[in-house]
């Protein structure tokens, strides 16, 4: 189930709002947590059925693991085994079939191997690992209440597609109910903002992306039946689609959490405003990049052990960042692509960028990110290379599809580009730390946009979130 679905809007969301309202009136954090946990399990079960048992089992496993870490005389060994168990579950469902494909004949199958990826497993695995490591580091005390921990672990706003929320960021709110009326209003605003971004922008450009990246087989040979101009248009469309799609989900997650009394940190800060790849990763999927920084890059030594080790650490982190997104060589190349440019910027290219006009830095960043998205979107390296060849070698393009016929998509692209090009100061986004900054006209604009967005949703427009696949 997705947040931008009729079932969620008219079944799960009203149930969530009613129970949240009752909990606020009763001023009962424990009651709020219990209801939120039940709603979360219902939300997850709706689309995943039996996989909810895996979620619950991992929840109790990591709750017990946190308690064990506070008592064991072998904390390093214990935390290593606990983290390894979580990563082993992730590897079993996400990577084992892919890894075996390099060694077994094509078409080989085994009924024991997993055939589907449990929804959100990459995200709740990282939630578990961050919790266990924080307990081990004594940054937090382990949860004493299984209800509080399971509410955190299974909370449906961040469960299936992030943001990656650390236990220490909301541990106080799990025990104390925040009755700030501004926070609830802020939550409504952010949910509406995300819903409108998803339906009116991300979904509108999706047909252009689908047709741009289409792959035809003729006489056993695959090819892209598009022109050079359409290939560039498709790449721009996907660059906008993945941003507005994923940031919309984060907006809705932040909004739903705020309505329940939780303050989630921002996950996006207008990343296409960045003037370097390094800055881009400070603005894009912040919860993921900060997770890799704190739990992988810094433990590897960060930038404290010389230039060579720093560059190697960056490549390791972004290789794993790419693979985190999926078991495919295209994700590996995408991660290495970003890691490579981060290395270049460390070697001196970054200092040169700082001397250039800001618009040149933004143009460079957008171009590198856009080309990286071609690998991210493509099913395999052959398709990615063919797409890039069409973009940069127009005399090889075959033509055949005029993507400009998608009028609604072209309009959405124009609006998306305009919003991305606006300076940060002209498009402020209130956060949960300052919920009072939501003005009435902000809410009014989003409320008015909700009705055409709902009409498009009912009409059956393409709807799944991209990051649900990871």
- Considering only CA atoms, which of 465, 122, 130 is closest in space to residue 325? 122
Query: Percentage of the chain surpassing pLDDT 90?
Result: 51
Asked if residue 370 has pLDDT above 70, the reply is: yes
Asked if residue 17 has pLDDT above 90, the reply is: no
Name the more confident of 62 and 422. 62
Helix, coil or strand: residue 386: helix
Rounded CA separation 314/307 (Å): 11
Rounded CA separation 209/214 (Å): 8
- The dihedral built from the CA positions of residue 417, 199, 40 and 56, taken in this order, carries a sign that is negative
Name the more confident of 304 and 190. 190
Phi, psi of 149 (to 5 degrees): -65, -45
pLDDT band at 465 (very low <50, low <70, confident <90, very high): low
With 0-12 / 13-18 / 19 or more C-beta atoms within 10 angstroms meaning exposed / middle / buried, residue 357 is exposed
Average pLDDT over residues 74-85: 95
Phi, psi of 221 (to 5 degrees): -115, 130
Helix, coil or strand: residue 110: coil
Contact predicate 262/431, CB 8 Å: no
Instruction: Write down the pLDDT at residue 1.
Output: 65
- Residue 369 in tokens: 């990110």
Average pLDDT, the chain: 87
Average pLDDT over residues 160-184: 86
Average pLDDT over residues 326-332: 92
Contact predicate 249/467, CB 8 Å: yes
Farthest CA pair distance, the chain: 69
Instruction: Write down the pLDDT at residue 467.
Output: 61
Q: Give CA angle at 187 (23, 155), nearest 5°.
A: 60
- Considering only CA atoms, which of 262, 301, 267, 295 is closest in space to residue 281? 267
Average pLDDT over residues 244-258: 92
Asked if residue 317 has pLDDT above 70, the reply is: yes
Predicted structure pTM score? 0.92
- Considering only CA atoms, which of 317, 247, 255, 258 is closest in space to residue 283? 247
Task: Indicate the range of 93-102, 204-213, 275-284, 448-457 predicted with least confidence.
Answer: 93-102
β-pair partners for 216: 223
Helix H or strand E segment including 221: strand 221-223
- Residue 210 in tokens: 């689908």
Instruction: Write down the pLDDT at residue 267.
Output: 92
Instruction: Read off the pLDDT of residues 154-167 as tens digits, 9 standing for 90 and up.
Output: 998 888 777 999 99
Rounded CA separation 385/396 (Å): 13
- Considering only CA atoms, which of 375, 394, 465 is closest in space to residue 159? 465
How far is residue 408 from each of residues 206, 211, 212, measured CA to CA in Å? 10, 14, 16
Contact predicate 152/32, CB 8 Å: no
């081990």: which residue's tokens? 136
Task: Indicate the range of 31-40, 169-178, 311-320, 461-470 predicted with least confidence.
Answer: 461-470
- Round the CA-based radius of gyration of the chain to a whole number and report it: 23
Catalytic residue among 285, 325, 338, 442: 325
The answer to whether 127 is a known catalytic residue is no
Average pLDDT over residues 19-29: 75
Asked if residue 448 has pLDDT above 90, the reply is: yes
pLDDT band at 318 (very low <50, low <70, confident <90, very high): very high
Rounded CA separation 263/286 (Å): 15
Per-residue DSSP letter, 78: H
């006009």: which residue's tokens? 357
User: Checking phi first, is residue 452 left (phi over 0); if not, alpha (psi -120 to 50) or beta?
Assistant: alpha
Average pLDDT over residues 334-349: 93
- The dihedral built from the CA positions of residue 122, 125, 126 and 127, taken in this order, carries a sign that is positive
Instruction: Read off the pLDDT of residues 95-152 as tens digits, 9 standing for 90 and up.
Output: 887 787 777 766 566 666 666 778 888 899 999 999 999 999 999 999 999 999 999 9
Average pLDDT over residues 185-209: 93
Average pLDDT over residues 55-63: 94
Per-residue DSSP letter, 143: P
Instruction: Write down the pLDDT at residue 110.
Output: 61
DSSP codes, 268-299: -S-GGG-SSHHHHHHHSSHHHHHHHIIIIITT
Contact predicate 466/213, CB 8 Å: no
List of long-range contacts for 66-70, beta carbons under 8 Å, 24+ apart: 66/131, 66/132, 66/135, 66/142, 66/143, 66/149, 67/142, 69/132, 69/135, 69/136, 69/142, 70/135, 70/141, 70/142
The number of CA neighbours under 13 Å toward the Cβ of 401 is 23
Average pLDDT over residues 354-372: 92
Name the more confident of 275 and 224. 275
Name the more confident of 63 and 431. 63
Rounded CA separation 314/447 (Å): 43
């395999």: which residue's tokens? 380
Instruction: Write down the pLDDT at residue 220.
Output: 60
Instruction: Read off the pLDDT of residues 411-447 as tens digits, 9 standing for 90 and up.
Output: 999 999 999 888 777 777 777 777 777 888 888 999 9
- Considering only CA atoms, which of 338, 415, 394 is closest in space to residue 371? 338
Average pLDDT over residues 216-221: 62
Rounded CA separation 282/273 (Å): 11
- Residue 260 in tokens: 């329940």
């Amino acid at each position: 189930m997705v947040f931008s679905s009729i079932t969620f809007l008219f079944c799960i969301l009203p149930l969530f709002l009613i129970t949240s309202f009752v909990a606020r009136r009763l001023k009962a954090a424990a009651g709020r947590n219990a209801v939120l946990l039940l709603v979360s399990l219902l939300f997850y079960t709706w689309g995943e059925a039996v996989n909810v048992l895996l979620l619950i089992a991992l929840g109790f496993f990591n709750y017990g693991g946190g308690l064990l870490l506070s008592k064991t005389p072998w904390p390093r060994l214990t935390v290593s085994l606990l983290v390894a168990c979580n990563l082993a579950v992730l590897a079993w469902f996400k990577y084992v079939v892919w890894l075996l494909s390099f060694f077994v004949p094509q078409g080989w199958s085994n009924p024991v191997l997993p055939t589907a990826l449990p929804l959100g497993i990459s995200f709740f695995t990282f939630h578990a690992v961050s919790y266990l490591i924080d307990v081990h580091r004594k940054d937090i005390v382990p949860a004493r209440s299984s209800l509080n921990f399971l509410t955190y672990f299974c909370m449906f706003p961040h469960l299936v597609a992030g943001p990656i929320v650390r236990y220490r960021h909301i541990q106080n709110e799990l025990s104390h109910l925040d009755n700030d009326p501004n926070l609830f209003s802020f939550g409504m605003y952010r949910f509406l903002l995300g819903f409108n971004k998803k339906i009116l922008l991300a979904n509108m450009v999706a047909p252009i992306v689908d047709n741009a990246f289409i792959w035809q087989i003729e006489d056993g040979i695959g090819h892209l039946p598009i022109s050079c101009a359409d290939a560039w248009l498709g790449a721009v469309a996907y660059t906008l689609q993945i941003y507005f799609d994923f940031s919309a989900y984060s907006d809705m997650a932040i909004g739903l959490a705020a309505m329940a009394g939780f303050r989630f940190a921002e996950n996006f800060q207008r990343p296409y405003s960045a003037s370097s790849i390094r800055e881009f990763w400070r603005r894009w999927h912040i919860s993921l990049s900060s997770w890799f920084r704190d739990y992988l890059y810094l433990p590897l030594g960060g930038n404290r052990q010389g230039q060579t080790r720093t560059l190697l650490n960056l490549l390791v982190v972004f290789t794993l960042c790419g693979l985190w997104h999926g078991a495919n060589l295209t994700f590996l190349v995408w991660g290495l692509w970003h890691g490579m440019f981060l290395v270049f910027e460390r070697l001196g290219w970054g200092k040169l960028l700082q001397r250039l006009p800001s618009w040149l830095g933004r143009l460079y960043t957008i171009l590198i990110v856009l080309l990286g998205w071609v690998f991210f979107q493509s099913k395999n390296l052959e398709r990615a290379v063919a797409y890039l060849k069409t973009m940069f070698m127009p005399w090889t393009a075959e033509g055949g599809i005029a993507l400009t016929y998608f009028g609604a998509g072209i309009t959405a692209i124009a609006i998306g580009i305009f919003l991305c090009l606006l300076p940060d100061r002209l498009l402020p986004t209130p956060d949960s730390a300052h919920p009072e900054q939501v003005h009435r006209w902000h809410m009014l604009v989003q409320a008015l946009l909700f009705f055409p967005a709902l009409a498009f949703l009912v009409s059956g427009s393409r709807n799944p979130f991209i990051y649900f696949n990871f």
